[in-house]
C-alpha cells in the first residue's frame, strides 16, 4: 500500500483534504493490518527508498518550496523524524532525517538534541506511552472479543 502511494505521489500531485472523500473497508485479514514481519520490512524499505528519491520539498509540498528558509526545512525534518521514531519506531530512519535537517540548518537546537541523545532516548516517554496504549487495546480486544 505504501509503495503504491509513494509511486502515485511521484507522478501526481497529492493534497490533504479536510473532509471525508472516500470510504474503505478494513478487515482483520488485511496484510497491512496484521503487519507481519515481512510486511513491516517491505514497508520500511519502500519508505527508505522514497526518502532517498524525494527532496524534503517534495515530501512537504504544501509547506516548502525551493526558496523556503533552512529553518523551515529543519522543522519539517524534525516533524518527519518524530513521526518515524514514535509511530513506526524506525529509529534509524528518524536519525537519518534529523541528520539531514542538521545538514540544512546546523543551528537547530531541536535537531542537535535529537541527534545527540538519539531518537530512542529523546522519545522514550512517548514510546512507552504508545506501547502501553497498544498493549491495552490488544488486551481489551482479547478479553471482550471485539
Look up cell 528558509; give the residue: 69
Last residue of a domain, one of 54, 76, 98: 54
Question: 87 with 145, same domain?
Answer: yes
Question: 34 with 78, same domain?
Answer: no
Q: Which domain holds residue 45?
A: 1-54
Question: 88 with 145, same domain?
Answer: yes
At 134, is the pLDDT very low, low, confident or very high (cuts 50, 70, 90)? confident
In 3D, which of 93, 83, 94 has the Cα closest to residue 130? Answer: 83
In the DSSP assignment, the letter for residue 16 is -
Question: 33 with 86, same domain?
Answer: no
Question: 33 with 63, same domain?
Answer: no
Task: Quickly count: other Cβ atoms within 10 Å of residue 31's Cβ.
Answer: 11
Q: Write down the pTM of the prediction.
A: 0.69
Question: 21 with 86, same domain?
Answer: no
63-100 pLDDT, tens per residue? 999 999 999 999 999 999 999 998 888 999 999 999 99
Chain-centroid distance of CA 131 in Å reads: 16
Amino acid at each position: 500500500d505504501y509503495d503504491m502511494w509513494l509511486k502515485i505521489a511521484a507522478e501526481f500531485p497529492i493534497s490533504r483534504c479536510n473532509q471525508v472523500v472516500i470510504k474503505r473497508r478494513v478487515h482483520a485479514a488485511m496484510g497491512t493490518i496484521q503487519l507481519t514481519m515481512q510486511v513491516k520490512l517491505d514497508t520500511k524499505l519502500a519508505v527508505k527508498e522514497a526518502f532517498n528519491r524525494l527532496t524534503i520539498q517534495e515530501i512537504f509540498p504544501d509547506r516548502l518550496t525551493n526558496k523556503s528558509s533552512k529553518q523551515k526545512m529543519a522543522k519539517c525534518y524534525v516533524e518527519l523524524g518524530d513521526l518515524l521514531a514514535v509511530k513506526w519506531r524506525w529509529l534509524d530512519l528518524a536519525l537519518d532525517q534529523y541528520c539531514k535537517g542538521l545538514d540544512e540548518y546546523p543551528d537547530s537546537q531541536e535537531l542537535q538534541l535529537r541527534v545527540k541523545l538519539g531518537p530512542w532516548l529523546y522519545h522514550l516517554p512517548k514510546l512507552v506511552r504508545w506501547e502501553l496504549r497498544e498493549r491495552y487495546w490488544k488486551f481489551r480486544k482479547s478479553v471482550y472479543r471485539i
